Amino acid sequence: MNSGIMLRNSECEVISFAPEDRLDIIKKLYKTKYDHVNYDNINWLEYDCISALMHKEKIVGFSSIWHRSFYEEGEVRILNRYWENRSLRREGRELARSHIIKMVFDQIKFAKDAGYTKAFISRENNPRVFRELINKIAHKTNTVWHIHNERVPVCKGKNCLQYKGYTIL
């Protein structure tokens, strides 16, 4: 997608699915160029759910749901591996744009239906902005979220201490 073109949320559609249910979109995710080491070698089939942000037939964003063995029992990470194409980025601080809220709605529903009891979102940096994002998500989704005041481990390895917000499902 041409990085000079700016897309609006209203021009895009969020599609959330179990990876085995939409192999057509999985193929597109593998073919998409992310130009970032964190996204270039993702195993899409290991996630519980993927939310793809589509513009016509192109992937312009995504996030996933992931349960890992070292999470609490019944806990799942949502908005995992969140990525969006530069064409969606805007100056300013509109943190909880409509596609993010749709992803959160879809992923919370998917997690509940899959039997999870707790969902969390985490980020490495800027606790003030993270708190603002979580509060906006809570307001726009009519859900209650709790935020850890200090960084907590959310994975094993480098960059694993992150700010974490969670909701009981």
What pLDDT is recorded for position 9? 63
Report d(CA 80, CA 67) in Å as an integer: 10
Length of the chain (residues): 169
Residue 82: phi, psi to the nearest 5? -55, 130
Single out the residue of 25, 58, 60 nearest to residue 44, CA to CA. 25
The residues near 74 (Cβ < 8 Å, ≥ 6 apart) are 115, 116, 117, 118
Sequence spans of domains, the chain: 9-168
Provide CATH code, domain 9-168.
Answer: 3.40.630.30
What pLDDT is recorded for position 12? 86
Per-residue pLDDT of the chain (169 residues; tens, 9 = 90+): 444 555 566 678 999 999 999 999 999 999 998 877 788 889 999 999 999 999 999 999 999 999 998 899 999 999 999 998 887 766 656 778 888 999 999 999 999 999 999 999 999 888 999 999 999 999 999 999 999 999 998 888 777 899 999 999 9
Residue type, 156: K
Residue type, 42: I
What pLDDT is recorded for position 3? 47
What pLDDT is recorded for position 1? 45
What pLDDT is recorded for position 156? 82
Local structure of residue 72 (DSSP, 8 states): P
Report d(CA 93, CA 133) in Å as an integer: 10
- Summarised one tens digit per residue, pLDDT across range 101-135 is 999 999 999 999 999 999 999 998 889 999 999 99
